Amino acid sequence: MISYTELKFALTSLGLTNNPVIVHASLRAFGPIDGGAGTLIKILLASTRGVMMPSFTYTTMLIPEVGPPNNAINYGSQRDQNRLAEPFQSEMPVDKMMGVLPDILRKHPAAVRTFHPILSFCGVEMDATLASQTIFNPLAPIALLAEQDGWVLLLGVDHTVNTAIHYAEKLAGRKQFIRWALTPERVVECPNFPGDS
């Protein structure tokens, strides 16, 4: 079992106390942590200037019957899944594919979550960064993080789960797509959706 002291020493030794971070983590890679995942959140907050994580919600996505060409989607292919779609609400859980840590951060009393119905982010001490996200610019928090000398912190995972790579792909001119999401009011178009890396 990893103790609070061991984990705090390891994260503090990275020297990120003046830097905001976006974190991707696999708790399974750590093994048991004394005090559980909440301990890791506490240490991250104490060891950095602010913590942000992707809190994506794919259960809100809809695939229409028709749409624009060259959009990397099979229109009309998810009729049954569309019936199960849930309207986005900020209190809905983070998709399980993102791991458990983002949902624990989302529940932190000081956490803020963005309102993008698919690609939301949550964070603590990251209010201005998170507020930069719009439906038209879902990766804006990563762009602002880069401007703030922010870091990508990968804990027990590799770059295959690094959301910041999507921002780099956008800067490199990679095609962005359109997706659709259910909200309490209506179905919304979500432009500038990154492709799968």
Contacts of 173 (CB under 8 A, 6+ apart): none
| Chain segment 45-81, per-residue pLDDT in tens | 999 999 999 999 999 999 999 999 999 999 999 888 9
Parent domain of 155 = 4-193
Euclidean distance between CA atoms 184 and 3, whole angstroms: 43
| Chain segment 129-168, per-residue pLDDT in tens | 999 999 999 999 999 999 999 999 999 999 999 999 999 9
Count of structural domains, the chain: 1
